[in-house]
Amino acid sequence: MTARYSRITGTGSYLPPRRVSNDDLVTELAERGVETSDDWIVERTGIRARHFAAPDVPASDLAVPAAQAALAAAGRTPDDIDLIIVATSTPDMVFPSTAAIVQHKLGIAGCPVFDVQAVCSGFVYALTVADAMIARGAASRALVIGAEVFSRILDFSDRTTCVLFGDGAGAVVLEASDTPGILATDLHADGKHVGILCVPGNVSGGQVLGDPLLKMDGQSVFKLAVSVLDKAARAVLTKAGKSEADIDWLIPHQANIRIMQSTARKLHLPLEKVVVTVHDHGNTSAASIPLALDHGVRSGQVKRGQTLLLEGVGGGFTWGAVLLVL
């Protein structure tokens, strides 16, 4: 039997129109009695701005234009798609899945659709699942999307978290191929770290139980992220029979510039080989990697035939990496 692989054939992204600079956010927070500054935010995170969706705009409304852009880049139409996976922690509804809503908004029906919830690692998880389904012949052309409206779950009285996150969506078209595109994947989780990054609330009987806003122990997340990202990166390189020198671009989850710099140093990669969008987008959770990938492709940085290392870490605690040839 001929081996079956998958390759990314198109990328796309979408950011809501409202851009909120650090100065804008500092002014808004001051009105709430919360003190911070542009210098404080930039020094600790590298973030200078983020985008916030309007209150009536759900994740699916960000996902659809990102998907349409990826389809156009791949030379495909929605009717060509036979699998949709949406990675999100901020779905439109409790159910059905945001993927089902995206499917309907794209005007197609019949193919399997579902959401993946792995927080900031969600896109890496979703891409791994789509690759496995294509390799087994369960799909031939998949839309893999990361879409988030994290502004809905931020505590704007907590300056250590509310300055970090933004909204957006990124997407790829992943197609069956005779030659390897995705070379290796590596996924992990450890539930004992649930408490260091979570939204500890739920809905019961029409009421919110617990706290529906994001909570994070920043120092614990930082230490764990740096350690596990390095291990996941080395794992996919080993699985693919590659070395650090084979990496053309590192496209990490855009959480914090210091985590990204530390990861690059451990892999002996110059910062010039890291695609960085955190300064303009903030942390967009599951959307951050596909947003950065699309930015890299459309800016001309990332080119066909290059080897890319994607990696993410998020609440759960989840982490993982994908090594691929574009």
Are the CB atoms for 34 and 204 separated by under 8 Å? no
* pLDDT (tens place) for every residue of the chain, 326 residues total: 678 999 999 999 999 999 999 999 999 999 999 999 999 999 999 999 999 999 999 999 999 999 999 999 999 999 999 999 999 999 999 999 999 999 999 999 999 999 999 999 999 999 999 999 999 999 999 999 999 999 999 999 999 999 999 999 999 999 999 999 999 999 999 999 999 999 999 999 999 999 999 999 999 999 999 999 999 999 999 999 999 999 999 999 999 999 999 999 999 999 999 999 999 999 999 999 999 999 999 999 999 999 999 999 999 999 999 999 99
**Concatenated DSSP letters of 145-210:** EEEEEGGGG--TT-HHHHTTB-EEEEEEEEEEESS-SEEEEEEEE-GGGGGGEE--EEEETTEEEE
| Residue whose entry in the numeric block shows the structure tokens 């599951």 | 286
Alpha carbons 180 and 177: distance in angstroms, whole number: 7
Residue spans of alpha helices (H) in the chain? 22-31, 38-45, 59-74, 98-105, 122-135, 159-162, 218-240, 257-266, 278-281, 288-298
Q: Which of 193, 253, 281, 295 is catalytic?
A: 253
Q: CA–CA separation, 95 vs 110, rounded Å? A: 18
Our answer to whether residue 120 is catalytic in this structure is: yes
Fold exhibited by the domain 5-178: Peroxisomal Thiolase; Chain A, domain 1 (3.40.47)
- Out of 198, 256, 281, 283, pick the active-site residue: 283
Query: How far apart, in whole angstroms, are the C-alpha atoms of residue 272 and residue 304?
Result: 18
**Quick check: 259 and 226 in contact, CB under 8 A?**
yes
Phi, psi of 139 (to 5 degrees): -155, 160
Secondary structure of residue 9 in the 3-state scheme: strand
CB 85 within 8 A of CB 320: no
Supply the pLDDT for residue 1: 60
**Same fold flag, 5-178 and 183-325:** yes
Q: What is the dihedral of CA 246, 45, 287, 213, to 10 degrees?
A: 150
The answer regarding whether domain 183-325 maps to CATH 3.40.47.10 reads yes
Tokens 């510039």 belong to residue: 257
∠ CA(117), CA(120), CA(121), 5° rounding?
75
Domain map (residue ranges) of the chain: 5-178, 183-325
Close Cβ partners of 159 (under 8 Å, ≥ 6 residues apart)? 29, 34, 35, 36
Beta strands 83-87 and 141-149 are parallel
Give yes or no: 283 in active site. yes
Give me the catalytic one of 120, 193, 256, 295: 120
